Structure 1
Amino acid sequence: MSTQDKRREDLVAAPSRFPLREVVLFAALLAAILGVYMAMGAAYSTRMLVEAACYAILALGLTIQWGYAGQFNAGVMGFVALGGYCAMAFSVPVNPAFWESELPGELARVLLYAAAAAMLVFGATRLDRIGVPKRLRTLIAIVLAVVLYLVVISLLRGVTGEIQSRAGFVGGLGLPAWTGWIVGGALAGAVGYFIGHICLGLRSDYLAIATLGIAEIIKAFLKNSDWLTRGTATVSPLPWPTPGPAELGFTLARALYLSVTAVMIAVIFFLLHRAYNAPWGRMIRAIRDNEVAASAMGKDINQRRLEIFVLGCILMGIGGGVLATFNSLFDPDGYLPLNHTFLVLVMVILGGPGNNLGTIFGAVAVYLIWIMSEPLALALMSLAVHLGDLWFAWEPPRNIESRALQARVFVIGLLITLVLRFAPQGLLPEKVRHHG
């Protein structure tokens, strides 16, 4: 038997190690969850787990972008908002005041004008193919774009003003909530495809700035489009795909919703695990680790990077739709970078970029810390105030509740500092198999 054959046989026959670290960490996490159940009650704790499961879907989307391909997406908030909007738009009941009037036809007519204007501008950018000088082509395209934009936006403002005054807003389609989740993922993927064509050629720091800026643009559009989203007036309640608290009570209804999110995470985890260990996953990691070598092997670098970016955006859109439906509220002003981008980033860092199981662990652990840091800080501050008043006659400070709320930011900052210092690869680092 040759030396190479012997190495292959040893690799196949070698037993896999017992996952001691995984067992210990998940056992500790389970103990913490049980402690929260005993301290806060079943209804509160189940709600916390459902929200943590929604964040786990978002974190899985980020870990395949950052962990699989090394793409730092700082615009998670924007894709989450798109998913939440689609969940609202598809599940909210139909608005008869809008659909039974002539407003849908007028809105469609303006949108057709906008599509025609976009096609004209696109055609103007191709005038150099028929002999027009490039500078003149650019000037014509810019002037045409500005004029057509002013015309279309004027027509659109007239229609949207009528919609707001007569119908309030467009309303929804009255479909099951899960249809909005699917469309939300598709819309986030489409926007990610558009962004990827523009931004994936940038360096990682510029990509982060670009995605963050685009996320803010998406939020601003949803916030200021009162005719489409009701803006800061919010839309609620959003129907659940399962029986709600009115039918089953808070605890049982939330437990049923938790089972739906758990099944979704299991399916996503299975598909990502298969993809990670497939030739496609090995190719993605090869591009991440050595792009020059992968390109020399004939791999289409840009196409593969675009695929992974779009896939991550799809998961973020789905997770955003699931989260908005569970909260039964769509508030464009509630999508904050701290909550929907930085917190997801901390989850991925804590669990381990590129490790799907670690990402799920990090999502639940970080969200538990994020939620429980406020009541724990309030209890400690109240105890300190009581002892200070008892021993030193201190005057109780004002707004202790708001100070306790800010403690969660300090706790998360301290957590990420400790992780980066003592476990820079995460608590469950990516497992890289070495052959030979």
Structure 2
Amino acid sequence: MACTGSGVQIPSAPQILVKFLYIKEIYLQTKELISSQFLIAIIAVLQVSYVVKQLGVENFGMVTLIITLPSLIFRATHSRNSDVTLLALKKGSNVFTESIIFDFLIGLFSFSVCFLIFYSELGSYFGIKEITPVILLYLFSRIVQTFSETSKAILIFQGKMKSFSLLEFVTVLVRFLSILFLFSINASIENYLISQTIYSLGYGLIGIYLATKYEKFESTNFDKLSKYFNRIKKSYGKLRFDQILGLIPQHFDVILLGVVSDISSVGIYKFAKKLIEPINYVVVTFNPWLQNKLKNSYETFEINTFFKQILLPLSFLISIFYVVFGRNIILILGSEEFIDSYAPMLILLIGFIFYLYTFWIRQYLLFNDLITFHAYGRLIYSGVFLLLSISLVGTYSSIGIAISLSSAMVLQKTYEYVIYKKKLKS
């Protein structure tokens, strides 16, 4: 029995046991993902620390601008394409070959767009004075990286979380080791791009290797490809609309800051964002596991229990960590040059924690053919970000961008929660 005589209700032993067993069950189901994402987060933090110390504020800002355009274009055309493949697999057919070909075609298109922009006068806005062989190789590697979307979909569909975790961890580790080796020779922007190239090539090729353990390549022809494209065009279109709307805040923040302010401000802001991004690894940990749970029926999964017993206490601990140790983290991982990153980091923390609270809503919308509402949320996200950033960045620089991004994230996720309650819980 719970003791209530003092006016404070103390959970009974059975309740505590139930909570413990629930947390244990979630851990056992996601332990491979947790361990891999934890290690990835550590590597990511060590990597950004090493890179900013070696390159300095201005060069770090410069390399950030260079990789922004390829990230923007490839994500606009192909990010989360694993969701498209996952929905196709849900219908019970082998689409491995067709999906890989589709990945390649989309990657080739994205490569061409990036090349044309870098070749034009617009390239100067992204720090490109000329297209070097290193930049060409980096763009090519992004084509290969697109194969990973099909691979991830197959691994998630088959429930192979260990293989999924291996893919994520090994490629990130190889990139970090490449940076350490190449920077020991020469800490330059070119060597950073080569390391990113190695990562992209490894991600795509290792992904294909792991996926072939569960799905086999089959002969295809124009008729099969045509049928596949017709089957996915609706879901692909919805997801592209959704992704493109969300790319404005995710990448335009750096571009706008670089145009309105200076390269040093870009470096300060990007460092703050890199420090807060490990929160995303928590989301990445639970996303594939949740997709596997929801692929058959969302009604059997108790999201309220997951929220109260996992997400709430986890977000509280994360918030305390950043507030208390934030300045020390900046000085340890960066230097005095980056101490101004503390304020934008805490502002970004608000938006990222709110995202952690509500990331699961997107998966519910996806598996109930309501992903369009997520796109509407992204429209709010982009609109709020643009309105606020244009007003604030000139005066408040990196802090203004951080306020704009966090505000946009909170309003988007609030809208999505209202839709979730109205469409799925009414």
* Structure number, greater radius of gyration: 1
TM-score higher than 0.5 here?
Answer: no
Using structure 1 for the length normalisation, give the TM-score: 0.29
- Larger relative contact order (CA 8 Å, sep ≥ 6): 1
